[in-house]
Amino acid sequence: MSEQSITDEETERWGSRFRPDTLGGLFKALFVASIVSFFLSVMGLMVYLLWLPEANPTVTLADPPVAAAAGSWIGIPVSLFCYGSWSAWQLRGLPRDPDQLTSKNPVKMLAYMIAVFVANKDDLDAYDRRLRTTTWAFVGVVIWGVFTAAMLFGEPRAA
């Protein structure tokens, strides 16, 4: 039996993949993988439901297609939240213009974020582009949460 040692080149390669500035790409990949796996698991769930025996038509969360769909459903907002948190952390290191809003008033900050949100992307500096991306990520989490709550607790209207 021979022992393998990790060379400096291998440790550099692994260290360079998981630097704090590359985590955003990891969270983006997790988001895309969650969306793709959600659609694939829903298709698998449909096939699974078609092949269920008539004698026992129950489906539990422990069934693999259901577990895969639930895991990817949860993976979407988790990846968005992690990306938004990482993006907000990256905001701290970006320089701001001296004439930008620095007020701690929540109403003024919200108005500024809305202005950045609707502004032309070409007119924004690096800080405002990152703020816009961060806002999109957290808005996506809120929309996904509202959609999930509506699906779980919403009541269909009787015709």
User: Residues 6 or more apart from 126 whose CB is under 8 A from it?
Assistant: 94, 95
Same domain, 78 and 24: yes
In the chain, the number of structural domains is 2
First to last CA, the chain: 73
Range of the domain at 14: 1-94
Neighbours of 137 (CB within 10 A): 23
User: Residues 6 or more apart from 76 whose CB is under 8 A from it?
Assistant: 31, 34, 35, 38, 144
Same domain, 11 and 83: yes
Residue 76 is predicted with a pLDDT of 94
Same domain, 123 and 154: yes
Same domain, 15 and 85: yes
Q: What is the pTM of this model?
A: 0.74
pLDDT digit string, tens, across residues 38-47: 999 989 888 8
103 versus 143: the higher-pLDDT residue is 143
Residue 109 is predicted with a pLDDT of 82
Residue 59 is predicted with a pLDDT of 77
Contact assessment for residue 97 and residue 125, using Cβ atoms and an 8 Å cutoff: yes
Same domain, 75 and 117: no
Q: What angle separates helix 106-118 from helix 126-153, to the nearest 10 degrees?
A: 100
Q: How far is CA 37 from CA 72, 78, 107, 140, 149, in A?
A: 6, 14, 39, 18, 21
